[in-house]
Amino acid sequence: MADLHRPHEIHRSPIKLAIPSFLILGAVGACLFAAWKIMEKPGGKEAMTAFWVVLGIAAAFVLLFLIRILPQWLAIGEPALILSKQGIAIRGKDPMAWSAIVGNTWRSESHNGIPTGATIELQGVQGLVTCGAFTLKCSAAEYVRLCDLYRQAAAQERVAAAGPAADSEPDRVVFPGRATAPDGIGEYPLRCRVPAMAFLLVLGGLALAGCFAMVIVQSLAPPDGSFGNSGFANKSGGAFFDIAYPYALAVAGLAIAACGARATWAWLSHPKSVVIGEQRLRYGPRSIPYAAVASLDAGRGAVRLILRDSSRITLPRAIWADGEIWTELLSRRTHSHLFDAAWQALGKGEKVDFGPSLDLDSRSLRIRGRPISLDAITDLHVQSGAMDEVQYRTLRVRTAHGEHAIDERKIRNAPLFLALIGALLEPSQGGKR
């Protein structure tokens, strides 16, 4: 339990800092070793081109280390941020009082399931303040817990000092997994952001693969210019590592590029103007009424809309900032149309799917192929929690014979499912609420 009378300092973790340091400096060492191997082999203009390309990649990694990692090592003894009842103070930036914070989000980033970074974003009345969180000696769940404790302690002091009216201010702080869209908003334009890390992965990976492809071609070509049976295996005195390393590094370059390819392609191929209006979604030049939306799937990496004409629209979170807020806002504005359509389908005896492992009809619920009669359900609730620094919610369905659990992230349009099954389980309210 934190001592709320004293500020809580959060420092950088030497272990977490050592991991990116090892990866970046290891990449520098690999590039320098590759450059040395290239210089060892006789070659012409192609070999020199490959040599300078590899050195350029090494220089880019050194620059990345100097800009992103070294300053954190130099300030390892100082707190990166301080939490107190007065607010949050980020090193090198002006402190922000709790009353001035309208958004507080720990945003984790990953590419193809590989974590690449995390950032704390504080949205204040005068702008956005950020703090790199990937190397903090603190998890997302712990950060949320501490913020809750200090914010509540500050509110209690305010009530004690000025009376109950001082606590009438609405809770507007946005936390991971509990983001709320602003009330009373009309049009909400999505803020496009450039996936810089994805671009670096693609460019660096392609450069690495390209330079070693040139090394392979130059090594395979015999002096007379014909390819025949020549190759690394025919070079006298060549050890296995000397034969295999260009191929391995070329494949590694392609794998690195693949990690950022999806976000890069999404940024290049999607329109840069998307506005969530009150009655319709403006997606580039298209204007889509919410009544035309047949399904909404708020998956982990993107929000996917299936329209009634069977066309699809994908909104990747990698290129649109504040994903939690606009996802909830879009879900809220399509909800009534989706609910009415699904309720009519249930009334006709049809089945409504909510993903590969969950569907619902007017009499039963089916989880992973196992039917459960609605009359047999004794309790249904959503449980929140955190694991491995990731917030999650679990739907728990209890019957007389046991309990069934399903991750809410695997439910297609979970708010619609909860509304439908809640209406079915409450016949006293006319079956529909």
Residue 237 sits at the vertex; the CA angle it makes with 236 and 238, to the nearest 5 degrees, is: 95
**Ramachandran area for residue 92 (φ above 0: left; ψ -120 to 50: alpha; else beta):** left
Range 259-278 average pLDDT:
85
β-sheet bridge partners, residue 302: 316
Least confident of 93-97, 186-190, 224-228, 372-376: 224-228
Range 93-102 average pLDDT:
82
pLDDT above 80 for 284:
yes
DSSP single-letter state for residue 192: B
Does 408 or 315 have the greater pLDDT score? 315
pTM for the whole structure:
0.54
**In Å, what is the CA distance from 37 to each residue of 28, 47, 155, 223?**
14, 10, 64, 19
**In Å, what is the CA distance from 76 to each residue of 61, 65, 69, 93, 121?**
21, 15, 11, 17, 21
Question: Which pair of structure tokens corresponds to residue 76?
Answer: 């390892």
Exposure class string for 322-331: b at 16+ Cβ within 10 A, else e: bbbbbbbbbb
Task: Count CB neighbours of 354 within 10 A.
Answer: 24
Which helix (H) or strand (E) covers residue 104, if one does? strand 101-111
Strands 358-360 and 364-367: antiparallel
β-sheet bridge partners, residue 295: 306
The rounded mean pLDDT for the chain is 76
